[in-house]
């Protein structure tokens, strides 16, 4: 997605060879128009799959996910990282390790919102080591739902997440694929 790549080059900050900061349009300040384009792209890509739910995890996944859900005209569920007092019924829960934050956290979805009849499109802001996406896949599988595909805004292809997901038989589509952040430079994967 050319518009996204241009925005990453213009406004992203390479913190080190593993970390790209995009807090001016995605992870803290949000460009809603760009999110709308992202949601439309993902929806167009998966329009023929009979998808019934978009699933993401709070917080940076929410904006791209809600626009995907809007374009597909289906509900969006965001998994919670903390259990809330008003979210105390039966939960699907998976443990997710964050390489960036070096902590493991549970993520949860209320069981009543996902079932065996659902075909899920997982949407997330980043694919790096794949742990967050794998956690969402696990929640869907606990519910008996089928994961139809995984739509990612920004993939860091050098961190191995895609392989873990593909080894699980999952299709991954990323709108921007970054092959390296070395020398303070964003390099995108050359795709045919």
* Residues forming the site for a second copy (CB under 8 A): 15, 19, 21, 23-24, 27-33, 35-36, 58-59, 62-63, 66-67, 69-70, 73, 75-78, 80, 84-87, 100-101, 109-110, 113
Which CB, 159 or 168, lies closer to a second copy?
Answer: 159
CB of 113 to a second copy, least distance (A): 5
CB of 100 to a second copy, least distance (A): 5
Strands 172-180 and 146-156: parallel
Cβ(41)–Cβ(58) under 8 Å? Answer: no
3 state SS of 189: coil
CB of 15 to a second copy, least distance (A): 6
Which CB, 110 or 179, lies closer to a second copy?
Answer: 110
Cβ(129)–Cβ(161) under 8 Å? Answer: yes
CB of 78 to a second copy, least distance (A): 6
Task: For helices 62-72 and 32-45, give the axis angle rounded to 10 degrees.
Answer: 50
CB of 141 to a second copy, least distance (A): 19
Cis (ω within 30 of 0) for the bond into 38? no
Which CB, 62 or 173, lies closer to a second copy?
Answer: 62
Comparing CA positions, the residue from 43, 64, 12, 28 lying closest to residue 148 is: 43
| Helix ranges (DSSP H) in 91-146 | 131-142
**Separation between Cα atoms, residue 25 and residue 29, nearest integer Å:** 5
Which CB, 15 or 189, lies closer to a second copy?
Answer: 15
Which CB, 64 or 130, lies closer to a second copy?
Answer: 64
């Amino acid at each position: 997605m050319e518009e996204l790549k241009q925005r990453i080059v213009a406004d992203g900050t390479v913190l080190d060879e593993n970390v790209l900061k995009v807090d001016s349009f995605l992870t803290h300040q949000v460009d809603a128009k760009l999110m709308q384009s992202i949601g439309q792209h993902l929806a167009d890509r998966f329009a023929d799959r009979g998808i019934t739910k978009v699933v993401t995890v709070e917080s940076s996944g929410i904006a791209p996910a809600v626009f995907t859900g809007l374009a597909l005209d289906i509900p969006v569920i965001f998994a919670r990282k903390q259990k809330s007092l008003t979210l105390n019924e039966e939960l699907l829960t998976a443990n997710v390790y964050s390489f960036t934050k070096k902590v493991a956290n549970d993520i949860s979805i209320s069981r009543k919102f996902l079932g065996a009849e659902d075909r899920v499109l997982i949407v997330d802001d980043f694919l790096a080591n794949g742990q967050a996406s794998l956690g969402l896949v696990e929640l869907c599988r606990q519910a008996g739902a089928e994961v139809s595909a995984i739509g990612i805004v920004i993939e860091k292809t050098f961190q191995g997440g895609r392989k873990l997901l593909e080894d699980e038989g999952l299709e991954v589509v990323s709108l921007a694929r970054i092959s390296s952040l070395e020398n303070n430079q964003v390099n995108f994967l050359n795709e045919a």
